[in-house]
Amino acid sequence: MNLLDDLLGSTGRVEDITPDSLRNARAALDSTIRGARTRHAPARQSANLRSPRPRRKIIVAGTAATAAAVAVAVVPRLSGQRPAPAHPAPAHSTAVTAAFVLREAANATKADPQQEGWPHAAYWHAASIEVRDGKTYHRDIWIAHNGDAILEDSFLPLPPGPQPVQPAGSGLGTLGSKPGWLTWDELYALPTDPAKLGPLLTRDSVGLIDGSPARNLWSTITDLLVETPASPALREALYEVAASIPGIAVNEDYIDALGRTGTALTLGGQTLVINPASGQLLAWIDVTPVGVPGSFPFAYTYTYQGPTTSEP
Amino acid sequence: MTGHQPSDSEILASLPDRPEAMGVLYERHAAAVFRYLARRAGPSTAEDLLSEVFIAALDGGTRVVAHESGSALPWLYGIAMNVLRRNFRQKSAQRVTAQDPEMDWDAVDARLDAEAKREQLRSALNVLSHHDRELLLLVAWEGLTPAEAAEVLGIGKVAARSRLHRARRRALQALGCGVPNRPAAEMTAATGKEMPA
């Protein structure tokens, strides 16, 4: 149990309704029902209230996507315990468009050599660092095929050592790492044809509140690229779909916390830093919700992201 | 002899023609809807609003399809959420100070015994948008699956799961740093823009 779940658990406990209150509310409802039956029409006009939107269902069931997956974007694991501090370069105007960068990354992802063991590796492993106030925090997560995950994060208020996350689908992960997160199979089942994936993700993101359909879609795509065992084919498709999003700002000279130069792509509160030549994800910066008091950015620099057979 | 026990799906399908079927949904789900309201607005307001939720549910007049889990609860929570928003808007209009449009923090605070915990909870939840916060609470407080919470909020399954992941991670990080505001150097570096105040 971590601090967040402790707080949510404490505040989630409320007294049950009393029998009297239950009866009183039922009586009020019954009165309205009688009126509705009499008029054979909606019982009460309350235009300010709206029902939830019709359910939008994403199709993730079915067979896994092509098992003969192509390469996975793997960043070599860095052994240095004291990564260099970030040397950020100021953003500047550039003639290079986000669409160009993202298509280049998609092509590079497609061209990567096939990763041995993929997609039958035991875990997807993502390792990252976060530099804050001069301190470097390490984060490692191992995600099994069924969505279970093990997390080790030196920044979080957790006991030392790897912490198990409850099984996927429970919706109550103890660490908030991947509660209910899509399993490998569910990710594989997503279409890898950009012409099919784009409309699906657009539809799926409609209800998000990121300011515009473009921001909603970009937000969903970044989520699917960061720390997920998305196959190389899916990553390629995600880059292709992202290339169709208008308004993404480009900074070609971003230097991450490890001193690597990458291209920062920003829309709304979400920034991805990638190496277009390899398709590798270098960093992810999240500042949502923009404009909410207390907002602050999270910046993760990825030292490794890929399949592994080694135990956490 | 035991009569037929219609499923939530069957009841939802019959509501436009048989409004009395709402009584069956009430018997099944009123307690859960009450807890939803009480967690966000306190027990007194929850008692006041409980019947309003089910009455509003009758209002639609259109056929509703239950979530694939078969439960009408996600639909009812969505209606309860809107009833609460309207109630908070009305209360806010009567007050001088601004109020959270979806949460009575006094009611939440009353369930935490220590002042320090109250501050921690606010630090964790205040870094989330109202939308993401509701997603987190639907799963943590109401015990919905991410897919059911998606139904309440009108978003897709993938989006809900990714948002939930991000919301929990963000809330945990806020607890980890202990202070709600931190430098925005990384974002400024990436975009060349200052962080919003």
Residue type, A156: L
CB atoms within 10 A of CB A311: 9
**A297:B195 CB<8 A:** yes
Residue B127 structure tokens = 């870094």
Among A131, A138, A128, A83, smallest CA distance to A259 is for A83
**A254:B189 CB<8 A:** yes
Q: How far apart are CA B176 and CA A156, in angstroms?
A: 5
Distance from CA of B1 to the nearest CA of A (A): 26
Mutate to test the interface with B, among A48, A55, A93 (most CBs of B within 10 A): A55
Q: Enumerate residues 6+ apart whose C-beta is below 8 A from B97.
A: none
Beta bridge mates, A299: A285
Mutate to test the interface with A, among B103, B191, B194, B195 (most CBs of A within 10 A): B191
From the list B19, B136, B190, the residue facing A33 with the nearest CB is B19
Q: Does B128 touch chain A (CB under 8 A)?
A: yes
Q: What is the pLDDT, as a whole number, of residue B80?
A: 94
What pTM was estimated for this model as a whole? 0.59
Could you tell me where the DSSP H helices lie in chain B? 8-14, 22-41, 43-59, 73-93, 105-109, 115-126, 130-140, 146-153, 157-177, 185-191
Distance from CA of B82 to the nearest CA of A (A): 6
Q: Enumerate residues 6+ apart whose C-beta is below 8 A from A267.
A: A214, A215, A218, A245, A247, A248, A249
Distance from CA of B96 to the nearest CA of A (A): 20
* Helix axes B73-93 and B43-59, enclosed angle (nearest 10): 120
Distance from CA of B97 to the nearest CA of A (A): 16
Residues of chain A contacting B127 with CB distance shorter than 8 Å: 289, 292, 294-296
Could you tell me where the DSSP H helices lie in A112-212? 184-189, 194-204
- Residue position matching structure tokens 């830093």: A273
Q: How far apart are CA A197 and CA A191, in angstroms?
A: 5
ipTM over 0.95: no
Per-residue pLDDT of B50-80, as tens digits, reads 999 999 888 765 667 677 778 899 999 999 9
Residues 8-47, chain B, touching A (beta carbon < 8 A): 19-20, 22-23, 26-27, 30-31, 34-35, 38-39, 43, 46-47
Q: What is the pLDDT, as a whole number, of residue A159?
A: 61
Answer yes or no: are the C-beta atoms of B135 and B125 closer than 8 Å.
Answer: no
Specify the DSSP element, H or E, that contains A100: helix A98-111
Answer yes or no: are the C-beta atoms of A216 and A210 closer than 8 Å.
Answer: yes
- Residue position matching structure tokens 């500047």: A92
Q: What is the pLDDT, as a whole number, of residue B166?
A: 80
Among A287, A255, A289, A282, smallest CA distance to A270 is for A287
The most distant pair of C-alpha atoms in chain A lies apart, rounded to whole Å, by: 76
Mutate to test the interface with A, among B26, B28, B158, B164 (most CBs of A within 10 A): B158
Q: What is the pLDDT, as a whole number, of residue A88?
A: 40
pLDDT values of chain A reduced to their tens digit, one per residue, 312 residues: 578 888 888 888 899 999 999 999 998 888 887 766 555 433 333 333 333 333 222 222 222 222 222 222 222 222 233 333 343 433 444 457 999 999 999 999 887 655 545 667 788 888 999 887 788 888 888 887 776 777 777 776 666 666 665 444 332 222 223 334 566 777 788 899 999 999 988 887 776 666 688 988 898 898 888 888 888 888 999 999 999 999 999 999 999 999 999 999 999 888 999 999 999 999 998 875 655 555 567 788 999 888 887 777
> Is A4 in a helix, a strand, or coil?
helix
Specify the DSSP element, H or E, that contains A141: strand A135-144
Answer yes or no: are the C-beta atoms of A59 and B156 closer than 8 Å.
Answer: no
Answer yes or no: are the C-beta atoms of B6 and B15 closer than 8 Å.
Answer: no
- All residue ranges of chain B with pLDDT < 70 are 1-4, 17, 60-63, 65, 95-99, 177-197
The most distant pair of C-alpha atoms in chain B lies apart, rounded to whole Å, by: 73
Distance from CA of B92 to the nearest CA of A (A): 16
Residue in A with minimal Cα distance to B157: A58
Residues of chain B contacting A254 with CB distance shorter than 8 Å: 189-190
Q: How far apart are CA B160 and CA B162, in angstroms?
A: 6
Residue in A with minimal Cα distance to B137: A8
Answer yes or no: are the C-beta atoms of B152 and A52 closer than 8 Å.
Answer: yes
